[in-house]
């Protein structure tokens, strides 16, 4: 019996420990590390670990290693290789390892507070006995539903660092961390502050951004460039994917390896794209013709992407349409989408009040119709573009390639939010709310981001938006999801219950929709409606101004909203 009680107690302690760490940071960088290192071609990256500057970083106290590289050089893979080496060879009770993968799509998760919290979480995960500072933060904030300030997390992190002789911190793709609001500079300053009195060794990868280069002017430097040996090893591993005419011709295989190594000029990503371009070449002549056309230099990536688009457009019409939708969703999405969210979004049928399970596509089909431009991170279940440069390319061409994408996405979000299952309104308990999110996995994205898509096509989406916003229960359901962020007992009820469709238009900045709602509902007492407060005491003008929507503010003031209310 005593053994059973100890077992139960241990499981309870583990569950509480996990809950505390999830509270301090929900970001799962170890899952991303697992996904990235799995894609590593065996034997690649050894040159990096053997480089003299890397060896110095591994051995010198408080060393900083800066690893710049051109887009597509393989910086993220090398960061993962370095992290893997640290976790296997260095991490111990006295040596800590933590890392951040910056992501252009995940700006919301990458402010100074969240990144410091993620580092704290990883160090405590590796040494559960150091959970004390996190417990103190939880006691101070959880029951009140507040979050720690960056300085509080920084202080807790300093406390944990004192229990290590050395801590290695790796930051990948720092250039993808936003700097419009000073986040990047503030975060780097905090990392430098962590080194005061502590042996914290910092490694950072980035593109060649002048400001970042200046910041690391005195650091150790190791430029990242795909080695010819690594590229050749990668291409050789891909031969098994190529048509039979290649697989039965060793001489042709050698030509392919030589031509791709010659063409990529230190850009690992280009090796992948060039290899993918051979997948549909069925004769030796076609293969050689394609090899002869490989571009070099700065235009090579754009040319490779253009050819990938041509392959997508050359598919059967159903595959082409699916590929176009998948690429548009990923390109326009306001945050990374999971495979479940993507499949759910693709299953939504306009003008239908139910989601038909038979209309949900298979995940693997999403990959097969996108010509190698889309990958799935299996551990985190995120579907994404193969590289940051792919996103940049589609941002340049997307309005011409698929001009109706924003309208389609906004329509899908609003249709989903209007499904019959949400007409019961908001949930009355934490459990019910969590079950709803689990059962309706596209709800989180649709509720939080429909307005951001709608604002670009407001006049075209107006009728559908008004239909949704006029339904009190649907608005209540969406508002609950939109405004709840923190998990504490009873958190599901901590949203403004009197928030209306008009309040949502003010939050998202949709003046055309607001006017249409007032007209549709034949509101005579406009001034009274404009002063209506939600249960948090917020008026439409307060919300519009607080979210920086100048056009909405002007409209409300013109209609008589009280600026002093």
pLDDT number for residue 95 = 95
Sign of CA dihedral 280, 282, 287, 290: negative
Q: What is the DSSP string of 405-424?
A: HHHHHHHHHHHHHT-GGGTT
Largest CA distance in the chain: 82
Contact status, residue 96 vs residue 235, Cβ threshold 8 Å: no
DSSP designation for 224? B
Q: How crowded is residue 349: how many other Cβ atoms within 10 Å of its Cβ?
A: 12
Q: Tell me the Ramachandran region of residue 294: left when phi exceeds 0, alpha when psi lies from -120 to 50, beta otherwise.
A: beta
The pLDDT, as a whole number, for residue 420 is: 96
Domain segments of the chain: what residues? 2-221, 228-294
Strand arrangement, sheet containing 382-385: 337-338, 382-385, 374-377
In this prediction the pTM is: 0.83
pLDDT of residue 521: 67
Q: Return the residue matching tokens 């229960």.
A: 473
Considering Cα of 310, then 316, then 405, then 334, what sign does the dihedral take?
negative
What tokens does 508 get? 């998202």
Cα 256 vs. chain centroid, distance in angstroms?
Answer: 35
Torsion over CA: 174, 99, 84, 381 (sign) = negative
Q: Return the number of other C-beta atoms located less than 10 Å from residue 60's C-beta.
A: 13
Nearest to 169 by CA among 235, 118, 228: 118
The DSSP code sequence of 67-112 is: EEB-TTSSHHHHHHHHHHHHHHHT-SSSEEEEEEE--TT-GGG-SH
> What pLDDT was estimated at residue 542?
85
The span from the CA of 480 to the CA of 493, in Å, is 8
* Residue written as token pair 């080496």: 85
Contact 65, 202 (CB under 8 A): yes
d(CA 161, CA 164): 5
Bridge partners of 97, per DSSP, are 168
d(CA 251, CA 262): 17
The string of DSSP letters for 156-168 reads HHHHHHTT-SEEE
| pLDDT of res. 561 | 76
Check residue 198 and give its pLDDT. Answer: 95
Please state, in angstroms and rounded to a whole number, the distance separating the CA atoms of residues 76 and 443.
31
- The partner residues of 167 in beta bridges, in order of sequence, read 96, 200
Residue by residue, pLDDT tens for the chain (565 residues) are: 555 444 444 555 678 888 899 999 999 999 999 999 998 988 899 999 999 999 999 999 999 999 999 988 999 999 999 999 999 998 888 999 999 999 988 887 889 999 999 999 999 999 999 999 999 999 998 877 788 999 999 999 999 999 999 999 999 999 999 877 788 999 999 999 999 999 999 999 999 999 999 999 999 999 999 899 999 999 999 999 999 999 999 999 999 999 999 998 888 899 999 999 999 999 999 999 999 998 876 688 899 999 999 999 999 999 999 999 999 999 999 999 999 999 999 999 998 999 999 999 999 999 999 999 999 998 889 999 999 999 999 999 988 999 999 999 999 999 999 999 999 999 998 889 999 999 999 999 999 999 999 999 999 999 999 999 999 999 999 999 998 766 666 676 767 777 889 999 999 999 999 999 888 766 555 666 777 887 677 888 888 888 889 898 998 888 877 777 6
CA 225 to chain CA centroid, nearest Å: 25
Question: For the domain 2-221, what is the CATH superfamily, name and number?
Answer: P-loop containing nucleotide triphosphate hydrolases (3.40.50.300)
Nearest alpha carbon to residue 342 among 362, 356, 357, 312: 362
Could you give the CA distance from residue 351 to residue 181 in angstroms, rounded to a whole number? 40
Centroid of chain to Cα 3 = 44
Confidence (pLDDT) at 5: 46
Evaluate whether 76 touches 173 at the Cβ level (below 8 Å): yes
DSSP 371-414: TT-EEEETTTTEEEES-HHHHHHHHHHHHHH-TTHHHHHHHHHH
The pLDDT value recorded for residue 215 is 95
Q: SS3 for 165?
A: coil
């Amino acid at each position: 019996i005593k053994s059973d009680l100890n077992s139960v107690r241990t499981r309870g302690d583990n569950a509480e420990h996990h809950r505390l760490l999830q509270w301090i940071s929900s970001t799962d960088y170890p899952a991303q590390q697992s996904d990235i290192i799995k894609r590593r071609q065996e034997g690649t990256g050894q040159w990096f670990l053997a480089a003299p500057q890397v060896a110095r970083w591994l051995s010198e106290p408080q060393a900083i290693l800066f690893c710049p590289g051109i887009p597509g050089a393989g910086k993220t893979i090398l960061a993962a290789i370095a992290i893997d080496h640290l976790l296997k060879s260095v991490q111990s009770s006295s040596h800590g390892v933590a890392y951040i993968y910056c992501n252009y799509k995940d700006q919301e998760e990458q402010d100074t507070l969240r990144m410091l919290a993620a580092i704290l979480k990883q160090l405590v995960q590796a040494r559960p006995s150091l959970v004390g500072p996190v417990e103190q933060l939880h006691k101070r904030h959880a029951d009140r539903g507040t979050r720690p300030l960056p300085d509080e997390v920084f202080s807790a992190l300093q406390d944990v660092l004192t229990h290590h002789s050395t801590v290695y911190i790796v930051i990948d793709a720092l250039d993808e961390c936003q700097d419009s609001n000073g986040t990047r500079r503030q975060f780097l300053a905090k990392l430098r502050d962590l080194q005061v009195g502590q042996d914290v060794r910092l490694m950072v990868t980035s593109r060649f951004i002048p400001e970042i280069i200046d910041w690391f002017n005195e650091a150790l430097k190791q430029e990242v460039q795909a080695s010819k040996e690594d590229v050749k090893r990668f291409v050789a591993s891909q031969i098994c994917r190529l048509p039979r005419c290649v697989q039965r011709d060793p001489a042709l295989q050698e030509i392919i390896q030589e031509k791709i190594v010659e063409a990529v000029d230190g850009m690992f990503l280009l090796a992948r794209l060039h290899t993918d371009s051979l997948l549909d070449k069925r004769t030796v002549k076609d293969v050689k013709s394609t090899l002869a056309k490989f571009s070099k230099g700065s235009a090579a990536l754009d040319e490779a992407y253009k050819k990938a688009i041509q392959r997508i457009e050359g598919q059967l019409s159903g595959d082409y349409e699916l590929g176009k939708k998948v690429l548009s969703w990923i390109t326009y999405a306001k945050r990374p989408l999971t495979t479940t969210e993507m499949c759910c979004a693709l299953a939504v049928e306009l003008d239908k009040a139910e989601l038909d399970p038979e209309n949900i596509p298979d995940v693997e089909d999403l990959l097969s119709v996108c010509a190698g431009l889309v990958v799935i991170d299996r551990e985190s279940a995120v579907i994404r573009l193969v590289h940051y440069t792919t996103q940049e390319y589609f941002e340049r061409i997307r309005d011409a390639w698929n001009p109706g994408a924003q309208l389609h996405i906004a329509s899908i979000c609003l249709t989903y939010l209007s499904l019959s299952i949400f007409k019961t309104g908001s949930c009355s308990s934490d459990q019910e709310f969590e079950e709803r999110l689990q059962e309706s996995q596209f709800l989180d994205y649709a509720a939080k981001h429909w307005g951001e898509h709608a604002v670009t096509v407001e006049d075209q989406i107006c009728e559908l938006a008004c239909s949704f916003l006029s339904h009190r229960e649907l608005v209540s359901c969406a508002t609950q999801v939109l405004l709840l962020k923190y998990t504490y007992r009873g958190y599901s009820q901590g949203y403004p219950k009197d928030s209306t469709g008009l309040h949502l238009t003010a939050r998202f900045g949709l003046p055309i929709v607001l006017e249409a709602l007032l007209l549709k509902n034949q509101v005579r007492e406009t001034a009274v409606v404009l002063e209506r407060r939600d249960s948090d005491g917020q008026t439409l003008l307060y919300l519009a101004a607080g979210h920086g929507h100048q056009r909405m503010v002007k409209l409300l003031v013109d209609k008589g909203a009280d600026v002093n209310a």
